[in-house]
């Protein structure tokens, strides 16, 4: 039977086409395909290895040594690459759109996400953003690197995932690098990378980061098209908040161990850590914290509250290492300072403030301490508002309650030059004397309430240096109330009146006034008036307190208002160092009186031995009103200039 010619023609055509397809060199398409993709993406795209196609209803395309160029100006020429890319294509989607890729496999992919010093991101493309639909994605031995030169950040992650029927298989990542030039390790899990194609929809992320002993855990989302826009829960813990710097570009002071949990969010240039709660040392802490890095200088705005505050946890503000923490819980720097303080005779903090940290950020921080706990000081509520602007830190107000009264302060630290200039104004109102001077505490009732003011200037980069250079005036005045009669008569070493009080019990003696009026000159506090006037005794003091050498040199002498048969009459000496103060009678005058008593008793009669020990009394009342007015006028009169000697050192 003879086949018609018109039947053979289609068969021959199909055979020829099949032969051409089977023998077609797909590598011939590498150049036009690379040119097409380069034009579409606005970046150099290249296939340096073999290109192969397995024809079927959904052809399988594989390409080796695929690379995508980086943005212009980068030191890294390649943004993305893979040893092999395998894609299954649905041809029908070319006509209905969007393009569908049922399967994608990446072997040894390498991805660089880079932000340059000017804030340009390499994941922003100039060409159209037509994203294909991917059904399943498999990543074998992937590496993702995030590089932000402006923030001194370079982190590399190993990424692995496996495709699933639903395409929802998560990825696991782990790696290390540097964040703000500090070493970090990172590990975590994320949603399937397929969801990244939905650029404006949140992408699920659960990650842990550690730098030294500081650890952070984030559980939330990021926006793929704005990869650093985060929203989720952050748990932050470590031995010292100051170690967050410079990863967090805020120079916190020393703190004890902390653990905080709150809502972290980053939109645009603003980071917020809101509704956070936790503990710093033995104190609880809650509030809201915002950091705007879009300003010329980072700007901090925070509201902080502690309902249970241990004042010792605030030691870092004045340069003291945590006192509650064992050495194993403190940082190496804190332990070094603690050991130095233990060996030193000095009591004032010598750890210097870094004046450069005052220039690092601007800030406005409001703090409220509602209740002090475990306090050996009679403190209650505390409030402070801190403003830092262009290197000048102002605490106004810095207020707290003490002994039923109130202390209101304004403190300014100007760190625009090498040495910090400090100016302070402190007002004390209605403080219970019996709480701050327990030796005067009467058996019953009040020792009176004290009020006062201090105004000073200083120059130096530590609390010790500031006080050692201080100039100014300070005064404390009190009137009314009662004191322990035993404590008062012992100031005169009045044994005759002390003995019955010891036997029958202490009683109260009225206080007419207390006046302490000091002038500070180059770190030495000189007593202008130091008076305590009671019904029984008038106690006068003189001397100085030297902040440079940290030594007391005060003499208190009691003047009896009524006679006594046996009174050694002091005076009482307060000396020694701030770390080891001493209160004792002046041995010279007492020894002279006792010696005279013994000599007279031996030479004349035993009754004559009492003559050197008799205090005839008769001291007049102090002019309390004039003394108090003078003390108030002295403090109010002037604000002294910093020491010329220290000023010239700048």
What is the reported pLDDT for 591? 45
Q: pLDDT digits over 165-219, tens only?
A: 454 567 889 999 998 888 999 999 888 777 766 656 788 889 999 999 999 999 9
Kindly list the distances between the CA atom of residue 561 and the CA atoms of 497, 542, 618, 621, 626, in Å, as whole numbers in the listed order: 13, 20, 5, 8, 20
Q: Tell me if residue 90 falls in helix, strand or coil.
A: coil
Q: Which residue's structure tokens are 């200037």?
A: 457
Query: Distance from first CA to last CA of the chain, Å, rounded?
Result: 116
Q: Average pLDDT by consecutive 10-residue portion of the chain (650 residues)?
A: 51 52 75 90 92 89 95 91 94 83 92 87 72 82 91 91 57 91 92 68 89 94 77 96 89 94 93 97 96 92 95 91 84 90 91 92 95 78 94 92 89 95 93 75 73 94 96 90 70 54 70 90 94 84 94 86 54 88 70 43 42 54 89 73 40
What is the reported pLDDT for 493? 53
What is the reported pLDDT for 607? 42
Dist. CA 232–CA 223, nearest whole Å: 12
What is the reported pLDDT for 637? 64
Of 158, 537, 551, 521, nearest in space to 347 by CA: 551
Radius of gyration of the chain (CA): 40
What is the reported pLDDT for 571? 81
What is the reported pLDDT for 137? 82
What is the reported pLDDT for 539? 82
What is the reported pLDDT for 614? 46
Nearest-5° Cα angle at 315, 544 to 434: 55
Contacts by residues 228-233 (CB-CB < 8 Å, ≥ 24 positions apart): 228/266, 229/266, 229/267, 229/268, 230/205, 230/264, 230/265, 230/266, 231/202, 231/263, 231/264, 231/265, 231/266, 232/205, 232/263, 232/264, 232/265, 233/261, 233/262, 233/263, 233/264
Dist. CA 12–CA 17, nearest whole Å: 9
- Give domain limits for the chain: 417-648
What is the reported pLDDT for 262? 98
What is the reported pLDDT for 536? 82
Q: Tell me if residue 165 falls in helix, strand or coil.
A: coil
Of 248, 253, 308, 318, nearest in space to 277 by CA: 308
Q: Tell me if residue 352 falls in helix, strand or coil.
A: coil
What is the reported pLDDT for 587? 61
Structure tokens at 413: 């630290």
Structure tokens at 270: 């603003």
The residue ranges of DSSP E strands in 268-404, in sequence order, are: 270-280, 283-292, 299-306, 362-369, 379-389, 392-402
């Amino acid at each position: 039977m003879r086949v018609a010619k018109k039947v053979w023609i289609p068969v021959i055509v199909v055979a020829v086409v099949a032969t051409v397809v089977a023998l077609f060199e797909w590598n011939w398409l590498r150049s036009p395909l690379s040119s097409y993709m380069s034009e579409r993406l606005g970046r150099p795209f290249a296939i340096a290895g073999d290109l192969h196609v397995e024809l079927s209803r959904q052809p399988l395309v594989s390409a080796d040594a695929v690379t995508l160029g980086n943005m212009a100006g980068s030191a890294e020429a390649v943004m993305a690459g893979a040893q092999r890319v395998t894609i299954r294509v649905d041809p029908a989607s070319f006509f209905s759109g969007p393009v569908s890729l049922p399967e994608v496999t990446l072997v040894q992919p390498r991805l660089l996400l880079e932000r340059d010093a000017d804030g340009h991101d390499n994941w922003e493309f100039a060409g159209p953003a037509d994203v294909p639909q991917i059904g399943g994605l498999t990543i074998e031995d992937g590496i993702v690197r995030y590089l932000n030169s402006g923030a001194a950040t370079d982190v590399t992650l190993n990424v692995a995932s496996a495709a699933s029927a639903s395409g929802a298989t998560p990825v696991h990542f782990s790696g290390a690098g540097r964040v703000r030039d500090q070493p970090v390790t990172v590990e975590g899990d994320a949603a399937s990378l397929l969801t990244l194609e939905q650029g404006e929809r949140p992408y699920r992320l659960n990650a842990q980061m550690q730098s030294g002993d500081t650890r952070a855990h984030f559980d939330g989302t990021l926006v793929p098209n704005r990869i650093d826009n985060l929203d989720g829960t952050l748990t932050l813990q470590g031995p010292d908040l100051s170690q967050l710097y410079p990863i967090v570009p805020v120079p916190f002071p020393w703190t004890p161990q902390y653990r905080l949990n709150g809502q972290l969010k980053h939109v645009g240039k603003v980071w917020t850590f809101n509704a956070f709660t936790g503990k710093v040392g033995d104190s609880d802490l809650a509030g809201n914290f915002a950091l705007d890095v879009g300003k010329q200088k980072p700007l901090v705005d925070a509201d902080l509250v502690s309902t249970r505050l241990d004042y010792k946890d605030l030691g870092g503000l004045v340069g003291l290492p945590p006192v509650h923490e064992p050495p194993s819980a403190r940082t190496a720097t804190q332990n070094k300072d603690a050991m130095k303080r233990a060996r030193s005779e000095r009591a004032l903090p010598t750890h210097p403030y870094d004046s450069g940290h005052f220039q690092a950020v601007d800030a406005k921080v409001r703090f409220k301490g509602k209740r002090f706990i475990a306090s050996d000081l009679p403190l209650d509520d505390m409030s402070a508002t801190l403003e830092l602007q262009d290197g000048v830190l102002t605490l106004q107000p810095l207020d707290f309650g003490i002994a039923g009264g109130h202390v209101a302060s304004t403190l300014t630290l100007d760190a625009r030059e090498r040495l910090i200039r400090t100016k302070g104004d402190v007002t004390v109102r209605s403080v219970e004397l019996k709480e701050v001077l327990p030796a005067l505490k009467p058996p019953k009732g009040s020792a009176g309430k004290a009020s006062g003011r201090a105004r000073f200037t200083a120059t130096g980069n530590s609390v010790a240096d500031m006080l050692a250079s201080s100039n100014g005036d300070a005064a404390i005045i009190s009137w009314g109330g009662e004191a322990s009669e035993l404590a008062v008569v012992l100031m005169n070493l009045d044994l005759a009146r002390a003995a019955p009080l010891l036997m029958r019990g202490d009683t109260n003696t009225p206080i007419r006034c207390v006046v302490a009026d000091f002038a500070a000159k180059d770190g030495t506090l000189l007593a202008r008036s130091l008076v305590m006037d009671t019904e029984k005794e008038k106690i006068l003091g003189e001397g100085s307190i030297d902040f440079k050498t940290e030594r007391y040199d005060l003499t208190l002498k009691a003047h009896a208002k009524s006679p006594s048969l046996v009174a050694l009459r002091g005076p009482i000496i307060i000396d020694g160092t701030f770390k080891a103060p001493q209160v004792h009678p002046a041995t010279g005058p007492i020894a002279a009186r006792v010696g005279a008593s013994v000599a007279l008793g031996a030479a004349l009669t035993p009754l004559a031995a009492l003559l050197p020990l008799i205090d005839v009394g008769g001291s007049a009342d102090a002019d309390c009103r004039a003394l108090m007015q003078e003390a108030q006028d002295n403090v109010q009169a002037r604000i002294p200039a910093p020491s010329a000697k220290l000023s010239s050192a700048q």
